[in-house]
């Protein structure tokens, strides 16, 4: 009888210890996700060729301080940001879409508060000055049928010296000639690197100016990259589906 009770007690103790370990692990994961790093995946090609569909990346939550959108489900615990740090022009940032405050977008900061931004013939102008743009070799990819597609690629250099590549299929596309935008105080002007395939701040009724409060974090590093169409949970496909050359790449 005592042996049975001892065995039952041991099993109960083992179960309780397992539950405590799981709870502690969940708390640690929540703290890391809220205050340090959060994983995101890239579902669209709006940031090509910097980020590709199927890239999985870590976003640092502490880079710009914390707002209510730093927390899961964005509870209205407070307004504004605490421990705030202003983004630099050229940072790649995950933010909450202003029109619904729930959808995650990822774009590059082009305009800071007070800046005058305009796109003329595909060339970005900041405060009346054109951003330096240098033509590079075409970006090459395959479509769904295996046909080769080439897209003109450029290297842009911002006034502060930040440099990165963009794709621009034509210089007279829908977003290649815009009115002048004046970025309001406390807001930022975001653009995708795939200029003719990006819904961004150029379209005021869809994205527009992004409030500082809506910033979630800075994109830092690609920790996994899978070919378009392959799923993260299909681990048995990984040896074939992983883009090995993109693993642990920093995001410029």
Strands, E, within 144-211: which ranges? 148-151, 153-157, 163-167, 181-182, 187-191, 210-211
Which residue numbers are catalytic? 46, 107
Our CA dihedral for 164, 169, 175, 177, rounded to 10 degrees, sits at 90
Q: Tell me the C-alpha distance between 194 and 202, whole Å.
A: 13
In DSSP terms, 107 is beta-bridged to 93
Cis omega (within 30 of 0) on the bond before 85? no
CA dihedral for 65, 66, 71, 74, sign (positive or negative)? negative
Q: Residue 105: which of 153, 156, 151, 43 has the closest Cα? A: 43
Q: Tell me the C-alpha distance between 180 and 115, whole Å.
A: 10
Radius of gyration of the CA atoms of the chain, in A = 22
């Amino acid at each position: 009888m005592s042996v049975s009770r001892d065995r039952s007690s041991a099993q109960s103790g083992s179960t309780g210890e397992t539950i405590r370990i799981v709870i502690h692990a969940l708390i640690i994961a929540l703290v890391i996700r809220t205050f340090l790093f959060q994983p995101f995946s890239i579902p669209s090609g709006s940031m090509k060729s910097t980020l590709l569909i199927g890239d999985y990346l870590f976003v640092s939550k502490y880079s710009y301080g914390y707002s209510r959108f730093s927390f899961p489900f964005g509870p209205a615990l407070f307004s504004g940001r605490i421990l705030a740090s202003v983004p630099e022009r050229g940072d790649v940032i995950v933010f909450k879409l202003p029109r619904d405050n729930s959808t995650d977008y990822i774009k590059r900061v082009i305009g800071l508060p007070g800046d005058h931004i305009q796109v003329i013939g595909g060339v970005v102008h900041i405060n009346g000055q054109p951003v330096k743009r240098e033509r590079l070799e075409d970006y090459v990819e395959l479509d769904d049928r295996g046909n080769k597609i080439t897209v003109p690629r450029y290297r842009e250099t911002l006034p502060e010296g930040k440099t990165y590549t963009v794709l621009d299929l034509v210089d007279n596309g829908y977003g290649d000639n815009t009115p002048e935008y004046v970025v309001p105080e406390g807001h930022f002007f975001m653009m995708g690197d795939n200029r003719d395939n990006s819904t961004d701040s150029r379209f005021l009724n869809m994205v527009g100016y992004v409030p500082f409060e809506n910033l979630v974090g800075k994109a830092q590093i690609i920790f996994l990259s899978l070919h378009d169409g392959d799923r993260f949970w299909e681990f048995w496909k990984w040896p074939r589906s992983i883009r090995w050359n993109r693993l642990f790449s920093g995001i410029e």
